[in-house]
Amino acid sequence: MSLFDILSETLFDPLERARENVDARLEMAEIARILSVGNGVAQVAGFTDLHADELVSFPHGIMGIASNLRQDRIGVIVLGDTDRLRPGDKLRRTGRVVDVPVGAALLGRVVDGLGRPIDGNGPLDTDERQPVERPAPPIMHRAPVDVPLQTGIKAIDAAIPIGRGQRELILGDRQTGKTAIAVDAILNQRDTGVLSIYCAIGQRASAVARVIQDLRKGGALERTIIVVAGGNDAPGLQFVAPYAATTMAEHFMAQGRDVLIVYDDLTRHARAYRELSLLLRRPPGREAYPGDIFYIHSRLLERATHLRDEHGGGSLTALPVVETQAQNISAYIPTNLISITDGQVYLSPELFEKGQLPAIDIGTSVSRVGGKVQLPAFRAVAGNLRLMYSQFEELESFARFGTQLDDETRIKLTRGQRVREILKQREHQHLNVPEQVAALLAATEGLLDDIAPDDVAAAEETVQNAVQKFEPDLCERIGAGADLSQDDRDALIATMRRALHAKEDEKDNGDA
């Protein structure tokens, strides 16, 4: 073989093949440069045509959102680590707004605020993307909220009912059980077909890991999407995360599915937006929040609704969480969210310290949808529960003065104490509708009046087991939404009374 043949085979032929595979194209892009960068915000200059909220691309794969558009410079919210960026670095337009992947491939996955997987289980198997900022459904596309969303928590399902498509605020001081209630609501949807999204905003990594572990233990992770923008992430990611999570939920709602979304929590979301606004030199208002702080939450929560059948028939139920300081529910961000949502579940630190768990203050909590979403059996049993419990608390406060009490007042105090014990519930203890109805009926009808408060939990378990065992047909009808007639009510009371008497006789025989 000649030298020319050797060179042709080893050098020229590979070069020829490489030349054939080269696709020479002229790519046009509008380039700008960074003037200054730091703390989640960059000031750039050089763009001649840029739209508000347009996505721009920095070096190292970092993205940003064009926010403040001025003639001489543009303020960009950086969706990543600004420590890797330097003044003078180039950035380019993308021609699109911020969007995230959507679809069933996200179920069971943990993603960041831009929909990128962070659970180590590989890339997402979906090509469909939708923008994070979308208009809320118009009023004519919305249907009334009339289907209950059972949380499995007696105090909520009986006194503060939540419907599919409702926006119910969960608020209280830190460490009072707000996240526990939201996670229990997700876990209780295991047999309802409701999909769930948990959006963690500004949370510690350990707290998010604990939530993921609880969902995995409860068998709920495979029907849940976890969107995480942690406290160590850029404030831009914390700001975008709830909108991205809502877009993922809206994809299922448009297909006729029912979705539950938890924003944990919007206090940190508001603080992240305040930080970005101050860095972008926007005029501060009350408590240094920008003037549009109300709008960023209203445009988010207005996307939660129940659609009419001709528009898909799906629903999106929102459970935003907000943290209060020293029980001040009239602070700026809590009052904003109270006015946006359809009710609130207030968790009292005083009840928490007394061991009344969940620490739900029934008197302060409210559901503006009310009994319209309750099953008929619930309405028959718990219709006057809020009024009776409020009267009991007022009587209890007067009884502490040691005044002489008449028989009627003593009966109300005794019964109220039993109702308070019945409303206690362990974390992750989910009760179906017949079990809740049986417990509440036993307490309100006086079947537990002769039982010591410490023994109420055992008596509750007794009556629930008896109703499930001896009245299975009635339990099935109650769960299916049938009316609770007077005969049904009498049958339940008789069954529970026999079970309690049998339990008492068994205890007496054991003591003897």
Whole-model pTM: value is 0.91
Residue 353 has pLDDT above 60, yes or no: yes
Q: Between 3.40.50.300, 1.25.40.10, 1.20.150.20, 1.10.10.10, what CATH number should domain 380-511 receive?
A: 1.20.150.20
Q: Mean pLDDT of all residues in the chain?
A: 90
Q: What's the topology of domain 31-97?
A: Elongation Factor Tu (Ef-tu); domain 3 (2.40.30)
Q: Enter the DSSP assignment of 81.
A: -
* 26-50 b/e (C-beta count within 10 Å ≥ 16 → b): eeeeeebebeebeebbbbbebbeeb
Residue 7 has pLDDT above 60, yes or no: no
Residue 27 has pLDDT above 90, yes or no: no
For the residues 191-217, what does the mean pLDDT come to?
A: 95
> What is the Cα–Cα distance from 35 to 393, expressed in whole angstroms?
62
For the residues 282-291, what does the mean pLDDT come to?
A: 93
Contact between 39 and 82 under an 8 Å Cβ cutoff? The reply is yes
Q: What is the pLDDT of residue 15?
A: 65
Contact between 173 and 325 under an 8 Å Cβ cutoff? The reply is yes
Residues belonging to the active site: 368
Residue 512 has pLDDT above 60, yes or no: no
- The SS3 of residue 434 is helix
Pick from 167-171, 275-279, 483-487: least confident: 483-487
Q: What is the pLDDT of residue 406?
A: 79
Tens digit of each residue's pLDDT (9 = 90 or more) over 93-137: 998 999 999 999 999 999 999 999 999 899 999 889 999 999 999
Residue 227 has pLDDT above 90, yes or no: yes
> What is the Cα–Cα distance from 406 to 250, expressed in whole angstroms?
57
Tens digit of each residue's pLDDT (9 = 90 or more) over 164-201: 999 999 999 999 999 999 999 999 998 889 999 999 99
Q: What is the pLDDT of residue 388?
A: 85
Can you list the positions of beta strands (E) in 25-174?
31-38, 41-45, 54-57, 63-69, 74-78, 90-97, 99-101, 110-111, 129-131, 169-172
CATH class belonging to 101-374: alpha beta
Tens digit of each residue's pLDDT (9 = 90 or more) over 380-391: 888 888 888 888
> What is the Cα–Cα distance from 214 to 456, expressed in whole angstroms?
28
Tens digit of each residue's pLDDT (9 = 90 or more) over 30-41: 889 999 998 899
> What is the Cα–Cα distance from 347 to 358, expressed in whole angstroms?
8
Residue 28 has pLDDT above 70, yes or no: no
Percent of the chain with pLDDT over 70: 93
Contact between 456 and 464 under an 8 Å Cβ cutoff? The reply is no
Q: Where are the domains of the chain?
A: 31-97, 101-374, 380-511
Sequence-ordered list of residues with C-beta below 8 angstroms from that of 49, at least 6 positions apart, any chain: 30
